[in-house]
Structure 1
């Protein structure tokens, strides 16, 4: 199958996946007790006030009708207005995207050198103490969920040692107080660094044992040049696709990390929207996350086809 046809098929499949995700999110949010009218009314609400709010917000209409109206608007680029905040959903998402984009950008910028450096260092000392320590440490850290690591990091480095702020509450601009970003970025990086460094290590071990590396050594090339100019480019090939998928995985990690450190980004906005039963905002964020997932996975699969076109023969 040609690349344009492959991309078109994947985009069509991605559109179907997004609609299915939105339908599932709508059903699950509708199944939660309460609604936006109860949230707006506050504690000990008057039933008459709640009924009036439901009438004003259109919550008395059937769920399928509200979902269909929202989906039709979304197809034209209109994600509706928040039920709780009197603002368009697109504006809320745009204002919350900055902190999330900053966290994700810092994580990706640090991810590549940290993963490659750790993987090359471990492979260069295969079987040694450093290699065993790095391998066991990355395996253990990869197995730990973000929320558990986040709570531990806050307890040790923020509460007990006092080196960094425990949350971003009251920080204003994140760039004005970069120390607020240290712990969130560290927690966000731990799992992807562990996964990518292990792939780089495995690729480097295979590359260092290959015929072309042995030939380069026999030719008298310096060890550093052999390692970085000949072995490393071939060792990185298996990690390229995983790197693209890691960007997709960072979305889920950002939601958890932002909730732990109270970073005012898309993850915190999503948690608040679910708590307030703000369906238009939940749906708008779901579109963004689902579309990003589909796009990043498409890029990863295209990269895999270009790196290993022989695997597509006969499909």
Structure 2
């Protein structure tokens, strides 16, 4: 187990290094840069002024030097300066990370709390009326775009409550903020819960057909013991995988939801930075998302070892 942890950690670090190189190089391959945007927006026509601007921004340095400055600063907690606002990038990014994390965690909790139990019920009550109703519900969740569902929710709030649950001024307390974020979290979590529900159902049905389940029933085990102690414990591994994937997706996949509900999070800020070609903001936010994805996959692998002791990793 120790050797697996070492190899898995080394692989995680190697993956993050490769992602950092890819992110940095791909941003430089995109046509146009921040100097072109600032130069055109200000109406400059003097190439010497543009060259001076590129020197001030460090864009005239070799790409390897630029990468070294970025990655060494990233390790030390120095994310550079935002070109557009001329503020330290950490001051622009740090306040937005907690907002997106809270929204993603709420959406994930909503997905798991509704997806897993309903998936189990659908599998246990296979081909009954409740199973058909839950399957229709899950298909609806997979079919409805989150931005369209968000707009419907906003219109319903205006119609029946007379206000719109969007993020305007920062909430006074944590509970008010969570209450405000619960609406967009439910909108984006509906799709994730539908995906988890369908995967839980299919995994449970596969396990319920196994011989040891029939043996447990023949020995007089109660339906609850069969369904939860025997079946669910062995069907949960694929569900854990999809929960991990959804957790990583929610961190960077909330762009539309944050825009519809005016949430000042990381995802919406990333789109704004891409439009302005603000390299320090874009590459740091994309790197942040990459770190989240890699770390979540690492946690999922560790969870496998806890949930199923039969899993053995070769040294």
Question: Fold match, TM over 0.5?
Answer: yes
Contact between 2:4 and 2:313, CA under 8 Å: does it hold in 1?
no
- After TM superposition, give the deviation of residue 196 of structure 1 in Å: 1.7
C-alpha change, 1:307 and 1:102, in structure 2 (3 Å) is closer
Equivalent residue number for residue 157 of structure 1: 153
- 1:59 and 2:59 aligned: yes
Per the alignment, residue 126 of structure 1 pairs with 126
Q: For the structure 1 residues 303 and 20, does the alpha-carbon distance in structure 2 shift closer, same or farther, using more than 3 Å as the test?
A: same
1:133-148 correspondence to structure 2 within 5 Å: 133-139=133-139, 141-142=141-142, 144=143
TM-fit CA distance, 1:103: 0.2
Greater mean alpha carbon deviation, residues 198-207 or residues 108-117: 198-207
Q: Structure 1 residues 228, 302: closer, same or farther in 2, change over 3 A?
A: closer
What CA deviation, in whole Å up to 9, does each residue of 1:120-168 have, x standing for no partner? 22123201233133224424533x4xxx713322443324763563753
Do the aligned partners of residues 104 and 194 (structure 1) sit closer, same or farther apart at CA in structure 2, a change above 3 Å counting?
A: same
Aligned length: 305
Describe the shift of the 1:166–1:44 C-alpha distance in structure 2 as closer, same or farther (beyond 3 A).
farther
Local SS of the residue matching 2:113: helix
CA distance in 1, matches of 2:141, 2:39: 44
Against the structure 1 CA distance between its residues 39 and 212, is the aligned structure 2 distance closer, same or farther, given a 3 Å change threshold? Answer: farther
The 1-side partners of 2:262 and 2:31 are apart by 25
The answer on whether the counterparts of 1:116 and 1:197 sit within 8 Å (CA) in structure 2 is yes
* Runs of 5+ unmatched residues, structure 1: none
- 1:234 Cα deviation (Å)? 4.3
Comparing 258-267 with 275-284, which one deviates more in the overlay? 258-267
Give the direction of change, closer, same or farther, for the CA distance of 1:313–1:34 in structure 2 (3 Å limit).
closer
Q: CA deviation at 1:232?
A: 4.0
- For the 8 Å contact 2:304–2:311, the answer to whether it is kept is no
TM-score, normalised relative to structure 1: 0.81
The gaps in structure 2 that reach 5 residues or longer are none
Alignment equivalent of 2:9, drawn from 8, 11, 15: 11
Does residue 294 of the first structure (1) align with residue 294 of the second (2)? yes
Match of 1:106 in 2: 106
> Displacement of 1:50 after TM fit?
4.0
**Where does 1:138-287 land on structure 2 (aligned, <5 Å)?**
138-139=138-139, 141-142=141-142, 144=143, 149-159=145-155, 162=158, 165=164, 167-168=166-167, 170-173=168-171, 176=176, 180-206=180-206, 208=208, 210-211=213-214, 213-215=216-218, 218=220, 221=222, 223=223, 227-228=227-228, 231-287=231-287
TM-score scaled by structure 2?
A: 0.81
- 2:45 corresponds in structure 1 to 47
> How much does 1:295 deviate?
1.1
Deviations 1:185-243 (A, max 9, x none): 12321332122212322344355551354146x36x4x556645555444434423332
User: Per-residue deviation at 1:264?
Assistant: 0.8
| CA–CA distance in structure 1, aligned partners of residues 64 and 313 of structure 2 | 45
Which of 34, 37, 41 pairs up with 1:36?
Answer: 34
